[in-house]
Structure 1
Amino acid sequence: MIDALTDAWRLAVGTLTAVPVRPPRRVDRRTAAAAMVLAPLAAVPLGAVVVAVLLAGDALDLPLLVTALLAIAALVAGNRAFHLDGLSDTVDGLAASHDRERSLAVMKTGTSGPAGTAAVVLVLGVQAAALAVLVGTWRAAVLAGVAVCASRAALAVCCARGVPAARADGLGVTYTSTVPRAVVAAAWAALAVVLAAVGVLADMAWWRGPVAIGSALVVVLVLVRHTTRRFGGVTGDVFGAAVELALAALLVALA
């Protein structure tokens, strides 16, 4: 049991962050499911980096938007732009054609088209603009860091049982349909409680945190449903898009 959790932790940290860890000894569907559930905890180093940048920018009296952009840049570097690549490919696939095979082929090329590039610019802009509102106090900075971690719960939704993989030979074979829906619901409910508590610490109404979590969950569910209808399931790219959109929704709701 301990070995399995260790493998899941290593898989989550090694995949979702640039933090160097030893590779897991075994990666199977059970390990992948646990890794996706642990994703918010694995992202704690990324959340801590965002908090540090926000506090440093405030201490140096930098413009709010500059501080927010620097925090987003640090976050992108901290995950090797992994999720942004997925966002770009997903939007390119959706914009390419209504034909499933054509869309999947476009997503697999790895190049960014105009639709994908525009999506990345717009989503990063929304994240930075919303994050700028949370610059000023250490409590608000901590709230932003928690939001970063919470956004990774989008991965559990993408891997919920009943959500198919778009490709039989892609990332989805190992990860998709592995996480029980009850576990997904419990994870998001726990995050709602955590964000409510941290929001109160940051002098916000207690309900702001749960509303932010609910907003992010709706965005992710819409994405998963739409991509499943268009692609026949989800892909690794959709995972990345879900994380970036969840973070944007969380920050906007908190701002």
Structure 2
Amino acid sequence: MRGLALALSWLTVLPVRAVPLGSALDPRTAAAAIRWAPVVGGLIGGGTGAVVLGLTAAGVPPLVGGLLAAGAAALATRGMHLDGLADTADGLGCYGPPERALTVMREGGAGPFAVVTLLVVVGTQAAALAALATAPVATLLAAAGLSGAVGRAGFAWCARRGVPAARPGGLGSTVAGSQPVWVAVAWWAVLACAAAFAVPGRWLGPLAVGLAAVLVVGLSWHTRRRFGGMTGDVLGAASELGGTAALVVLATG
């Protein structure tokens, strides 16, 4: 269970201590945390849906409630995934060799590509959550939870064996190449099956999972080609891209 504890520590603001003070991080525990990430994502997604539900029940307009819920999700994750998305967007948007892109990402400032990407992604999440606010409670919570789990399932694909770290140090180098290919595929298959029963319209849930998987596979291919490998920022980008895509599909039902 240390892998789950580490996933909670890494991916949420919960005060979970997975590694004793002064101890080095065990690579096997880090790899296990990546495999547990969809479970943590499902909890965060379900909590996001609950925020939308509570706000709209209190009379808050659905779009405002969706935006506030998206903000709450960012707070629950320390904004880590959005930060990774922003840095990845700036890295992909700059010219020059991989070293130049990695330097832009490491500088941490938000360039125009990052700003536009964040506006589009967070705005899309808010609008999708607003659309789901009128759905039955079970549907809203299932869709939000599924999108959170699907987003984090992409971690395993980005950190699959054969994909090196783009640079030394950081989360990327800790988990790069740590996951067998079947881990991500298994998570996507399990989530697609669960979605077929949890979301009205048996085709809609699997479609959401399938679209998220395709986008993450494309992102991983492109970032490996552009950066020379994967980074922790790519994990954040995969989470936001896959989760947002799933949420949009589920909101259209």
The yes-or-no answer on 1:22 pairing with 2:54 is: no
CA shift, 1:98, in A, is 3.3
Distance 2:42 2:247 in 1: 17
- Unaligned stretches of 5+ in structure 2? none
Residue 129 of structure 2 corresponds to 131
Give me the CA root mean square deviation: 1.4
DSSP 3-state at the match of 1:103: helix
Q: Answer yes or no: is the 8 Å Cα contact 2:84–2:236 preserved in 1.
A: yes
Q: Distance in 1 between matches of 2:191 and 2:53?
A: 23
Q: Give the TM-score of the pair, scaled to structure 1.
A: 0.92
Give me the whole-angstrom Cα distance separating, in 2, the residues matched to 1:123 and 1:47.
Answer: 15
Conserved in 2, the CA contact under 8 Å of 1:28 and 1:174? Answer: no
Aligned equivalents of 2:96, 2:128: Cα separation in 1: 33
Give the drift of 1:49: 2.1
Alpha carbons 1:147, 1:195 under 8 Å: kept: no
In the alignment, structure 1 residue 171 sits paired with structure 2 residue 166: no
Alignment partners' CA distance in 2, 1:172 and 1:148: 21
What are the equivalent positions in structure 2 for 1:45-84 lying under 5 Å apart? 45-84=43-82
Post-superposition offset of 1:152: 1.1
Residue in structure 2 matched with residue 195 of structure 1 by the alignment: 195
Match of 2:165, as an amino acid? Answer: A
Deviation of 1:216 after TM superposition, in Å, equals: 0.3
> Counterparts of 1:1-255 in structure 2 under 5 Å?
6-25=1-20, 27-136=25-134, 137-143=136-142, 144-199=144-199, 204-255=200-251
Distance in 2 (alpha carbons) for counterparts of 1:145 and 1:10: 19
Provide the identity percentage.
Answer: 45
Measure how far apart 1:31 and its partner are. Answer: 1.4
Which 5+ residue runs of structure 1 have no aligned equivalent? Answer: 1-5
1:185-223 Cα distance to aligned partner (Å, 9 max, x none): 111100111122210xxxx21111111000000111111
**Aligned letter for 1:171?**
L
Which aligned runs of 4 or more in structure 1 are off by greater than 4 angstroms?
Answer: none
Report the Cα offset of residue 139 of structure 1. 1.5
Aligned equivalents of 1:197 and 1:165: distance in 2? 37
Determine the C-alpha separation between the residues in 1 that align with 2:171 and 2:146: 27
**2-structure distance, mates of 1:28, 1:172:** 14
Structure 1: how far apart are the matches of 2:209 and 2:42?
17
Residues 252, 61 of structure 1: alpha-carbon distance in 2 compared, 3 angstrom cutoff = same
Cα distance in 1 for residues equivalent to 2:147 and 2:172 = 26
How many residue pairs get matched?
246
